[in-house]
């Protein structure tokens, strides 16, 4: 090869490499705080299936068990985006914390039976009135489960103000109900299916239906300041969540394996899986906000649009 030909080859290779570099811009790194749960698992799927990279993002997943700690990470700047249930986001909003919802997460769909009110298998309780004055376990005080239970009691002839609400982790609900520590418990997957298989508890009702047959339970959120400073990142993240939701909703067997690998939690063979929202719609957010205000979880109702990024 002559020097002239060799020089041309080197130049061509350099131009090709430069063109390739232009076609593949550097990914923007984001830090995503989320609990290791089915409700937040969109983040895992977006990372594992390449949806983040497809929209130009490199996501660093920060696994944080407590919802309050997720919020603290986002507020303090150690995370850019977090996942939380809508009840917590609303409460933070009314306390003046500058959080905004940027994408939908888990969607309550009545037919999936993700959450149920259970009682001991041989208990005498069969109606809302039967639970007047009784002790009820929920995963979080003044949260979505307590709000749903209160509304169910109210609309079915019970006195929700007479009950004692006790905060009990999902993993302890079956034992608490079966031993009489509590009279009933709001249980959710993945623990729910295992508890029912044990034959120690039975379903009394589905209180979440009292809020609506389909509504948003969880959201992805950030601070208003971060959203304003990084509008392209927020749009890209929301797009990745839509892709992840679509994939997960249509590939629950594969998503279940990915979730087990990421969290170490084995899903029961009959476990009902989360359905994810493919959009962030104020009409799907408002039912929980209104119910939360009526039953004391919020000081007052407000338009769901206040939680969204200002245009």
pLDDT at position 125 is: 98
The pLDDT profile of the chain, 311 residues, written as one tens digit per residue, is 444 434 444 344 444 444 444 556 799 999 999 988 888 999 999 999 999 999 999 999 999 987 889 999 999 999 999 999 899 899 999 999 999 999 999 999 998 888 899 999 999 999 999 999 999 999 888 889 999 999 999 999 999 999 999 999 888 999 999 999 999 999 987 788 888 989 999 999 999 999 999 999 999 999 999 999 999 999 999 999 999 999 999 999 999 899 889 888 777 777 778 999 999 999 999 999 999 999 999 999 999 999 998 76
Cα distance between residue 52 and residue 57, in whole Å: 5
Q: For residues 179 and 185, is the Cβ–Cβ distance under 8 A?
A: no
Does the fold of domain 114-205 match that of domain 28-109+214-307? yes
Bond before 34 cis per omega within 30 degrees = no
pLDDT at position 65 is: 82
28-109+214-307 sits in which CATH class? alpha beta
pLDDT at position 22 is: 52
The model carries a pTM of: 0.84
Per-domain boundaries in the chain: 28-109+214-307, 114-205
The domain defined by 114-205 folds into D-Maltodextrin-Binding Protein; domain 2 (3.40.190)
């Amino acid at each position: 090869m002559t020097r002239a030909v060799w020089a041309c080859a080197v130049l061509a290779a350099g131009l090709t490499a430069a063109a390739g570099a232009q076609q593949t811009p550097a990914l923007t790194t984001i830090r995503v705080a989320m609990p290791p749960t089915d409700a937040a698992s969109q983040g895992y799927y977006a990372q594992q299936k390449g949806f983040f990279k497809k929209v130009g993002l490199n996501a660093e997943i920060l696994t944080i068990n407590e919802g309050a700690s997720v919020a603290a990470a986002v507020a303090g700047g150690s995370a850019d985006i977090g996942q939380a249930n809508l009840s917590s986001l609303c409460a933070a909003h009314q306390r003046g914390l500058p959080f905004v919802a940027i994408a939908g997460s888990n969607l309550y769909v009545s037919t999936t039976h993700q959450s149920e009110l259970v009682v001991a298998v041989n208990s005498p309780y069969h109606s809302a009135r039967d639970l007047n004055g009784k002790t009820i376990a929920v995963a979080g005080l003044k949260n979505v489960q307590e709000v749903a239970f209160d509304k169910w009691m109210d609309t079915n002839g019970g006195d929700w103000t007479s009950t004692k609400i006790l905060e009990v982790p999902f993993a302890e609900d079956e034992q608490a109900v079966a031993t009489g520590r509590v009279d009933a418990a709001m249980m959710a997957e993945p623990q729910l299916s295992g508890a029912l298989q044990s034959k120690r508890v039975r379903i009394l009702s589905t209180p979440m239906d009292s809020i609506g047959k389909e509504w948003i339970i969880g959201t992805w959120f950030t601070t208003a300041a971060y959203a304003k400073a990084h509008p392209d990142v927020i749009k890209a993240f929301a797009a990745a969540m839509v892709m992840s939701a679509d994939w997960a909703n249509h590939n629950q067997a594969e998503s279940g394996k990915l979730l087990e690998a990421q969290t170490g939690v084995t899903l029961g063979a009959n476990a009902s899986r989360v359905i994810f929202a493919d959009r962030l719609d104020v009409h799907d957010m408002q039912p929980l906000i209104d119910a939360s205000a009526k039953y004391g979880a919020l000081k007052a109702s407000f338009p769901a649009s206040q939680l969204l990024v200002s245009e």
